[in-house]
Amino acid sequence: MKYLPAVGLVLFTAAFLAAAYTYPSQARAFPVAVAWVTLCLAALDIAKTCRNPGVAAVDSRPLSSQIGAAIWLAAFALTLVLIGILYTVPLYVFASLRFRGHRSWFTSLWMAAVVTGAIWLLFAVVLRLDLYPGYFESR
């Protein structure tokens, strides 16, 4: 039973990876990379569980905290679709550091700027991929 989440993730990611390989070469670059990283991380999780079969992963955080984390991710996904990568990433990084991580305003701002700059540099400049502009801007 403790293997179920990791195995489910492997199956979902494998299906996602198979679908991503049907995309044109430029469109599949990022989804394929994310899928391979996810498969590697899931394999590490399965190996860890096999190595320590008597140890069950117990999350001691309250259910409300876990639901809150899921809502943050859902909000990130929604804003990503609506306003695009370059606006969503700094907003999410700032908000999560400031309000969930309780970091200072300054730290939250400069980390959001650094992460956004790194994403832009990697994808737009180095890989020459167009970053998703968002639903509202693409209309």
Each residue of 69-121: pLDDT tens digit?
889 888 998 998 899 888 999 999 999 999 989 999 999 999 999 999 998 89
What's the pTM? 0.60
- Tell me what the mean pLDDT of segment 53-71 comes to: 72
Largest CA distance in the chain: 53
pLDDT confidence of residue 137: 82
Res 57 pLDDT > 60: no
Average pLDDT over residues 108-135: 89
CA distance 18 to 8: 15
> Which residue pairs, CB below 8 angstroms and at least 24 apart, start in 24-33?
26/129, 29/127, 29/129, 30/123, 30/129
Decide if pLDDT at 30 tops 90: no
Confidence class for position 34, pLDDT limits 50, 70, 90: confident
The pLDDT assigned to 122 comes to 87
CA distance 11 to 6: 9
* Residue 139 binned pLDDT confidence (cut-offs 50, 70, 90): low
* Dihedral (CA of 29, 31, 36, 41) sign: positive
